[in-house]
Amino acid sequence: MNSTALAGHSSCFSFIVALPMQKTKSSALFSPANQKLWRLTQPSIWSLVNDASQDDPARSVLRTLWDQPRWLEAYHLYDDHGSNLFERICELPEYYLTRTENAILEKESASIISAAPVRCIVELGAGSAKKTTHLLKAQVAHRGKTIFSPIDVSLPGLMASRDFARDNFPEIEFQGLHARYEDGFSSIDPNLPTLFVFLGSTIGNFNPSSFVRFFSQLSNAMGPDDFLLLGVDRIKDVDILERAYADSQGLTAQFILNVFQNINRLTGSNFDLAQMRYDSGFNPEWSRIEMYAVSTAAQEISFPSFGAYFRWEKDDRILVEISRKFDALRLQQQLRFFDLTPIAHFTDSREWFSLLLFRKSS
C-alpha cells in the first residue's frame, strides 16, 4: 500500500508513522521523470533527495548588503521569531490584507473551484492551511477526493498544514513538499489537472527580476489543464497603505528589525538593534511600500568569518523589504506574456484586494 493513499485518513496515521521514511514511494503528484528526485522524510512530507540548490543564507546576506543601495532578500525575515511576528501582524486592525483576502475566499471559493476543474491543489507557502480552508472545502464538495500539496521551506509550517488537513479534511490526500517553490512546482506532473494557489500578496515582496523568473518558471511547469489563483493587494489611498506597514503597536517595526538578529546569528555580524530605527513609506513611482532600517549612529558592521566589514553611517538606510501594490487589470495583461490567460477576477466591495484566476494558455 502506498503512503499517499493513506495520507488523508487520520485513522491510519499511526501506521504512516511506522513507515520507513527514507524510502521513495510512488505518488501521482510527481511526473514520472521527477519521481526519483523526492523521498519521504516525514509522514506525507517529501524532500529533495539531493538538495544542492539551496543558496547559502550567509552569502546571500553579504551579496545584497554590498549592493548600492544596500538591501536584503525578504526570506531572511522569516526565522521562528519573525514568522510569529508576521502571524501577529496579520491580526492587526491596520493590516487589512489577510482579513480582506479571507473574506473574498469565503464568498467566492465555490465559484473559483467551479471555474477550475482540477484534481489537485498546490499551495505555494504553507502557513497552517487555514487560509486555504474555503478552497479545500469547496473542492471536496465539488469533486470529492483531492490531492492537496503545499510547498514550503518551513518544515513546522508544513507539519501544521498536514495536521490541519488531516483533522479537518479526511477526503484529502496530503502531499507536502519541503522545498523552494520552483523546485516543488517544476516536479509536479503537468498531466495532473492542478490549481496553483499563491495567496497573501506574497508576490508583492518579489523584486522585478525575481518576479519575472518566478512567472516564467511557474508557467513552464504548468500543464494544459492547470490554473493559477493569485492574491494581490491593490493600489489604494496612500494613508491606508502606509498605516498597514506602520502600525500603532510597532509590530511591523519589530518584524523588520528582527532580520538583523537573524543575520547576526547567520553570519556572526554585530548589528546593534538599539542603534537603528524602522522607517517605511509608499513609493508611487514603483507602486510599493518600502520598509527600511535606518542607522541612528555611525557603526562599523563586521562579518568576521568573511573577513569583511562596512561602515553604516548615521541616517543611512538598508532596504529590508518591499511590498508592491498592483493595478489588477494591468497585472492580468502582463501575465498574458507568461502564457497565463485571465479567466476570472474576484474582489471585495472596496476593491482593496484581488484574487485573479488564470488558465495556462495552450
Binding flags for ligand AVI, 80-119, as an x/- string (CB under 6 A):
---------x-------x----------------------
Answer for the pair 122, 188: CB distance below 8 angstroms, yes or no.
yes
Q: Would you count residue 207 as binding ligand AVI (CB under 6 A)?
A: no
Q: Which of 204, 226, 253, 269 binds ligand AVI (CB under 6 A)?
A: 204
Residue 73 or 189 with smaller CB distance to ligand AVI: 73
- Residue count at the site for ligand AVI (CB under 6 A)? 12
CB of 360 to ligand AVI, least distance (A): 24
Burial class (CB in 10 A: 0-12, 13-18, 19+), 319: middle
| Closest alpha carbon to 145 in 172, 164, 175 | 172
Smallest gap from residue 50 Cβ to ligand AVI (A): 29
Cell 489577510 belongs to: 98
Does 175 bind ligand AVI (CB under 6 A)? Our answer is: no
Should residue 252 be labelled a site residue for ligand AVI when binding is judged by CB under 6 A? Answer: yes
What 3-state DSSP class applies to 334? Answer: helix
Looking at the DSSP bridge assignments, the partners of residue 322 are 290
Q: Is residue 201 close enough to count as binding ligand AVI by CB under 6 A? A: yes
Question: By CB under 6 A, is residue 161 in contact with ligand AVI?
Answer: no
Residues from 255 through 274 that contact ligand AVI (CB under 6 A):
255
Residue nearest to ligand AVI (CB): 323
List the grid coordinates of 208.
522585478
Own/partner pairs, 272-279, CB within 8 angstroms, 24+ separation: 272/299, 275/299, 277/253, 278/252, 278/253, 279/317
323 binds ligand AVI, rule: CB under 6 A: yes
- The H or E element that residue 146 is part of is strand 146-152
Interacting stretch for ligand AVI, rule CB under 6 A, among 110-118, 176-184, 195-203, 339-347? 195-203
Q: What is the DSSP letter of 235?
A: P
Binding mask 280-319 for ligand AVI (x = CB under 6 A): ----------------------------------------
Question: 84 Cβ partners below 8 Å, 6+ apart?
Answer: none
At 65, which amino acid appears?
A: L
Task: Provide, rounded to whole angstroms, the least separation between the CB of residue 286 and ligand AVI.
Answer: 14
Q: What are phi and psi of 308, to 5 degrees?
A: -130, 150
Strands 194-198 and 176-178, sheet pairing: unpaired
Residue number, 181 or 245, with CB nearest to ligand AVI = 245
> Does residue 326 touch ligand AVI according to CB under 6 A?
no
DSSP 35: G
Instruction: For Cα atoms 56, 61, 67, give the angle at the middle one, nearest 5 degrees.
Output: 130
- For residue 200, state whether it binds ligand AVI (rule: CB under 6 A): yes
- Contact residues: ligand AVI, CB under 6 A: 89, 97, 200-202, 204-205, 245, 252, 255, 321, 323
